[in-house]
Each structure stands twice: as C-alpha cells, then as structure tokens.
Amino acid sequence: MKLILEMRHHGDDVDAQHFAFTKFPVSIGRGFDNDIILNDPYVSPRHLHIEYDGETCIANDYGSENGFTVNGQSPSGRRASLKSGDALHIGQTEIRIYKPEHPVAAAAILQKGNPIFDWVTRPLNVWACFVIAVAITLCWSWLEIWSEEEGLALAGAALGTIGVIVIWSAIWSVAGRLTHHKAHFKGHVALICLYLIAGTVAWYIVAYIDFLTNENWFSHIATYGINFVMLAFLLYGSFALATKMRRRRRIISAGFFSFGLMAGIVVFTLVSIKSFNQQPIYPSTLEPFLAQLVPANTVNEYMDGNDRLFASDEFTQDKATPPAASKDTPAKN
C-alpha cells in the first residue's frame, strides 16, 4: 500500500518534488505536526488529510479556511475521492496523487526548445551571425562616417562592435550561471549579433521614414515601434537563455522593460520639446536617395500649409485680436 505525492508550488520554476507514503492518513497543512508541511499563506495550519486503504483514496478537509479543489473542481462536501493522476489544489500548491502502478511514458519527454533558438545557437551559425554583425556595422561605418584616418575609424568600429557583443554576452552568461547553472554564452552572442544586424537595417528604415515623411507622427510611431519590438525580442531571448522564467512571464517582462524604456525616452523628449527652446526644432534628416519618389508641394501649396500653422493651438489667437491702443479716443482738450 503505497502512494506517490508529486508537489509543485505555483510560481516556482523548480522541478516537482516527489514523496512516497506507506502510512495513512497523510496530513497536510502549514503546521509543523503535519506529514507534509506547506509554507503557503493560503494553507491552514491543519488543512486536510489523505486516506488510502489500497483501493480508494479520499481527501478529507479538516475544516480549512480555503478548502481545496480536485482537477479544478470544488468538491461538493468536505470529502472527495481521488483517482491516480488527479491534481489536488491546496492554496498555491498543486499535489498530484499517483499509485505506484501509474504508467509513465517509455521515454522521458524533454522540454522542447524554440526551434529558431536551437538552430541559431549551433556553433557554425553563431560564428556566422558574429561575422555578419561585425561586417554589417563595418559597412555602415564605412558608408556613413567620413574620417581622415579611415583605417583607424574602421578598426574602431569593428572593435566597438565586438566589445558590445562580448560584454553583453558575458553579463548574461554570468546571470545565467547564477540562476540556471548554465552560461549559454554562444546563445547570447547569437542573439546580440542578430540584434545588431536587425538594428542596422532598422536604422536605415527609420532614417528614410524620417526623411521622406518629414518626421510626422507616422515616423515617430515607426521609430519607437521598431525599437520597442527589437529590444523586446532581444530581452525575451536573453531571459529564455539565462533564466527559468516561464514563457508568459518572459513575454511580459521583456515587453514591460522595453515599453518602459521607450516610454521614458518619449517622456524625456516631450519634456525637452515643451520646455523653452530658443531655436526652432525641425525635421532635419537628409538622405541621398528616394526624395524624388515622394510628392512635393508647390510654393503655393506650401504657403497654404504655412498659413494654417498660425491657426495651430500653440498660438493663442484670442488675445491677438483687440489692439486697445487704436481705440484711443482723442481728448476733448
């Protein structure tokens, strides 16, 4: 006569614990006189006990405050019978009851990784990402930056890129080592390299959107949107490699962090724009290509827009009306 109890705490990412019992009843609660002691504020000091006579298994509530559920269903009374494999929820703890003869899969099902991560973190692909990332930032630097000392500038760009990759990966590896006992250095290298590659492409997309739309609302949304998505993906991947967070929590964490950063930048920008600036702030992105593809105004159309500018909310029009001085009446002498 033996039962196996498998325990899992909600919100805990560690593997389940297993206990085997041969003597019944088994009492469960927060108090130290129980057979299973749950450090859970939602559990009463003496919560319930499990009876087993070799045939039927019954969960029996001692009269706890929060009760229990079986497979998500509240029992009709204080008692509920259990079959092998049923999940008992007490407070924030899940306890599954197994009979020894309960069948298990012939081969252990390993947790499935993300196929893209798995592919990218193959050594060859990591190296490829690394080489492409360094090459693409070198290309960007060669295209965009004019310097008297060209070789030095390129070497600086390459070293800078490699430095960012190594430092980023090293920090996350340490974090992974601490929480997970796995560094995943190559995985982090692959991630940051992909981020740099995507970032360079995004840089051009944003620059041309800014240039062609004259930095209107669409270009602002595109700029912040693209950066938000890229950073969120990077963080999601880093969390996946370095922590044992569940997927849902990874998404939420990466999303919140990235969103918070973008929101902070937006607020900072708005504050600096709204505070007094002596010089005008105007769209100034210039790119060499594609300007001929977008529609342009004639001088008359442009002047119509300039006329409308005076009616904008920025400029208080109500005060602009009555010049009191012209109403001066001549003195009667």
Partner 1 sequence: MRQYIAIISILLAAAALLPALAYATPTQDEAQRLYQAYGDAVYQVQVIDLTSKKKTSIGSGFQFTKDGLIATNYHVVAEALQRPDHNRMEFLNDKGETGPLKIEIVDVVHDVAIVKMDHPGKMWLSLGTSKLSKGTQLFSIGNPHDISFTIIEGTFNGFSKDSFVDNIHFSGALNPGMSGGPAIGHDGAVAGINVATAGNDIGFLVPVEPLKDLYARYLKLPAGYNFVDHANAHIQDQLLASQDHNINELLSNKKWESFPFGPVMVPGHIHDALKCWGGASHKEEDPFESYFSICSSQDRLFLDNDFDTGAVLFRYNYIVGKDKLNLVRFYNLYQGLFSVPQADFQNVKEGDASNFDCNSHFVDIAGFRWKSNFCIRQYKKYPAIFDMQLYMAMVGAGKKGFTVTLMAQGVSKQNALALARRFMSEIKPGKGAS
**Interface with partner 1 by CB under 8 A: which residues?**
143-146, 148, 211, 214-215, 273-274, 276-288, 291-292, 294-299, 302-303, 305-310, 312, 314-317, 319-320, 322-326, 328-331
In terms of CB distance, is 55 or 318 closer to partner 1? 318
CB of 302 to partner 1, least distance (A): 5
CB of 169 to partner 1, least distance (A): 30
In terms of CB distance, is 22 or 284 closer to partner 1? 284
CA–CA separation, 47 and 66 (whole Å): 9
DSSP state of 328: P
Q: Is the peptide bond before 75 cis (omega within 30 degrees of 0)?
A: no
Tokens at 258, concatenated: 């990235």
Tokens at 81, concatenated: 């019978």
Sheet of 26-29: strand order equals 36-37, 26-29, 48-52, 57-61, 79-82
CB of 161 to partner 1, least distance (A): 19
In terms of CB distance, is 15 or 328 closer to partner 1? 328
CB of 138 to partner 1, least distance (A): 14
Q: What is the chain's Cα-based Rg? A: 33
In terms of CB distance, is 22 or 298 closer to partner 1? 298
In terms of CB distance, is 39 or 316 closer to partner 1? 316
CB of 332 to partner 1, least distance (A): 8
Strands 48-52 and 57-61, by their bridges, are: antiparallel
Phi, psi angle pair for 294, to nearest 5°:
-90, 155
Question: Is residue 3 within 8 Å of residue 83, measured between CB atoms?
Answer: no
